[in-house]
Every structure is written in C-alpha cells, then in structure tokens.
Chains A and B, each alone.
Chain A
C-alpha cells in the first residue's frame, strides 16, 4: 500500500469556477481598489522582479523540485529573483516536506504556499515574470490563466533547461 498521502488542494485554480477576465492586466492593475490591494499583496509577500511562478501539484514529477533547483541556478545572475509556488492539484506531503527543506536555502526568496486564497490568484499571476507549469502535470487551467494575465509560460523538462529559458526571458 502506498504510504504517500495525497489530497486535493481546495484553493487552487480549478476549471470552470474561475472568471478568466479577472486575470487580465487591466483588471488587476488599473482598477482603483484592486490596484491598491495588489500593491499590498506584493508588499506582503515581498515579491520582486523577476518572479518565477510555479503552479502545479506538489507531487513527484509535478515539477516543484525542478522549479526550486532552477531558482538556485538563477540566483547568481538575478539576485532579486523570487520563486513563488502555489499548489494546483494533488499534494504529497512527504514530497512537499522535501521541497520545503530544499527551498530553505532560498530564504524569503523561495516562497512555497501551502494554500492559496482564490481571490488572490489574479495577483499571483500578475506578479509573475514567467510561469512554470509542466503541461504533463495536469494543470491546463494554469496555462489558460497565464495567457489571460499575459504572463509568459515556460516549458522545460529539467532545472538546467528552465534556468536557460528563464535567463533568456528575463534578460530580454
């Protein structure tokens, strides 16, 4: 019997329930009250630029470990880099533990959120300079939301490839 405990993350982006229009940059940045909330959100999470957003399940082959390793690889070139991870899909707690341990060296520059408030989802996407969500990890909705937010989606099968892709993107 598998000892791995997995659960569905309730606050994560789900299919039909999300209003994609909320993710458009004009909805986040230009509306008075939303814009103030967005600024507060960024201050609260100390989100800088560039920011690599991971959206996906916290399970093996889900890509979170790849994103963390890539953040280490990008640190020298981009000292202000932030990695923000938000869950979408299943959570394997043992794997999450491993990732949290791995992320400790990133300090406050490597945020792994355990839950995410649905009302803040557009802010996470708006804050990202790039989003990494492996297509095979089963989160097509995240790709759709990234498109709505105008956030580039980066695809890579390894940390090295992700570092290279992000470096090109952030430098451009």
Chain B
C-alpha cells in the first residue's frame, strides 16, 4: 500500500472498501449471484467511438459497427466520474475510438485525477504532437498505451491503415523523451498486437524498444472480439488449439468491470462493440443502478445458467483470459505479455535506493519497497 494511503484516512477508507469489494466480488462470482453489494473496480468510459484510422483488427476500422458515432458529453462524463470516484479504482478513457480526437480529453483526465482515480488511456499516437504530449504528461494521466503495431513501415501501414509510420514513430519517441525530460511518473507502454501480419516482427520490435524510455512493451494477443468478425478472427496466430469453451464458465467481466459507451449505454464488455445487447443507460439512473439493474442481472443469470446466447458471447473465448481471485479479477488489459524496458528496470533500482533510508527506519535490516 502507498504511504499516502496510510497517512490519509479518506484514501485509506477507500482502499479498504476496494479491497473488500474485490473479495466480495470473488464470492459473488463463485457463488453465481446475480446481484451483490459490490461495485465495478474498473470503469471503461468511451470518450468517443470516432477514429481516424482503419485498423484491420478493429470493428471501427473495418466500418462494420452500426451504432451512431459521437463524443461523450461533458455533463454525462462528470456525472459518471462524480458517482464512481468514491469507490472505483480506475477509469479507462478508451474503447472504440481515438481518445485524442475528443476536444476535452485533457479536461476529462484532469477531472478524474482531481477525484483520486487512476486514469489510463490508449492512443494511436497520430495526434500526439509535442504540445499534446506535454499537456498529456502534465494532466496527471497514470498510464498510456502507445499503439505501434509493426516494426517496419510496411507492416505498420498494412495493419494501421491510414496511419503514417514515420509520423507516429516520431510522435511516440518525442513523447517518451518528454516524459523522461520532465521526470514524469506516467507509465508509458508501447504496444504491439500479435497477429499474422506482425508475428514475425515481435521479437525485433521488443529489441528495438527495449532501450527506449518506455516502461513496458506489451505484446498483446489478438482479441477476436468474441469471434464475431471473420476478417479479424482470420488474423489470429494459431498456437492454442485447445478450445476453452469445452468447459465454459460465466464471464467474470459481468461481475468485475463496467463498460460505458459514449452515449451512456452500458454493455457487458468491449466485445459488444455495436451495443447489440444494451444493458441500460447510465443517464437514467447512474452507473451503479444500471450495473445492478434488471438487464445486467439477467445477463449474469444467463451466464450462470449456461446460456451464452448474446451475440458477443456465443463464440467468445476471451472470457478464459480472466483469472478471478479474492484479490482481483485478473482480466485487465486482455492477454498480454509484458516486457520491461531497461528504463523501468533502472527506475526501479533508483527507487529502491531512494526508499531504503525511509524503510530502514533505523530498525535494523532494510526492507523491500512496498508494492503499490
């Protein structure tokens, strides 16, 4: 636990609430309860579903989504944040669009940070010019995923259609330099999705970014979005012939996270990219009321009864990426291999050296730094 959490009673109470919520959620999931006095620890808030790229592994890029395009209104956003701030751990500001296209994305980050939420987002870095990079770093954002799907220009531009390799790479490098210069604690993760087009380049990609100022290199397994789109499923690198649906379990996502689209519609998870099974609208009664609402409870009941008839659930295998325990859901960020960069190893060493005098506290042998 962080030191400021131990010294601030308000933070401490919130942390205790969050920890007990995790345990309660684990029990309610394992006991297959439709409803329990729990809350989502991680809330995905889609700032927009508008994107400027046509990525080949994305329903937005493939233009097969039919729901209306839009940007979350400020009043709706603040209402969501005001409601979830006392309990939620993290707010994630991306879903099916490019967050930097939202005119008020920086305000959105600041607003959530002022309410002590962990804030993260992802970007394709096409709009990450110097000014935006500096403002993003200064906004207090906790984590950013920088998507760079490809080692070479050819691969990148084949995967991220309309993206300009040189521009994006330059933007990312400048962002990382700035983060280093400013000594910002923001966690910047370079990300590549492993799919048939990028698979051969993953190893060299890691080597290339290993010595950068990034914190982690995420090698993300292709999310087939529940196997709903043949063009996307066909991009998978075949290596796991075992079908997890032989022993199918209810999807933990329904008990752990909340996914809210830009128009306030609550959906089961990001695989319902087209809101084919809307579970209510948070505009009508708030996040918790909707998350505990009739449709959400029915969805959980369907799953516990072995009924996976919702469009996004039928062929989904991504549920198996979760690994619920009393301490967490284990389903954050999809199936991702995380490689540490030299910078993060160096930073950790530096932090340990700095923390030793504090932790040692004159009581004898030094202790390891506390986990966050």
Residue positions of A touching B, CB distance < 8 A? 43-44, 46, 96-98, 100-101, 103-105, 107-108, 114-115
Contact = CB atoms under 8 A, between A and B. Distances in A.
Given A46-B66, A46-B68, A105 B295 contact: no
Interface residues of B, number: 24
Given A107-B277, A108-B277, A100 B293 contact: yes
Given A100-B280, A101-B294, A104-B302, 6 more contacts: A46-B66, A97-B293, A101-B295, A104-B299, A105-B309, A114-B281
Nearest to B274: A108
Contacts of B66: 46
Contacts of A43: 68
Contacts of B64: none
Contact of A44 (B263, B285, B302, B310): B263
A43 B263 CA distance: 12
Interface of B: 66-68, 263, 274-281, 284-285, 293-295, 297-299, 302, 309-311
A108 to B, nearest CB: 5
B283 to A, nearest CB: 9
A104 B284 contact: no
A103 B296 CA distance: 12
Contact of A98 (B278, B294, B299): B294
Per DSSP, are chain A's interface residues mostly helix, strand or loop, or mixed?
A: helix
Among all A-B residue pairs, the 4 with the closest Cβ atoms: A100-B294, A97-B294, A101-B298, A114-B284
A107 B311 contact: yes
Given A46-B67, A114-B284, A107 B297 contact: no
Contacts of A103: 295
10 contacts: A44-B68, A98-B294, A100-B280, A100-B298, A104-B279, A104-B302, A107-B276, A107-B278, A107-B311, A114-B281
Contacts of B302: 104
B58 to A, nearest CB: 20
Contacts of B280: 100
Nearest to A96: B294
Nearest to A43: B68
A96 B295 CA distance: 11
A107 B278 CA distance: 6
A108 B295 contact: no
A56 B243 CA distance: 47
Nearest to B70: A44
Contacts of A101: 294-295, 297-298
A98 B274 CA distance: 25
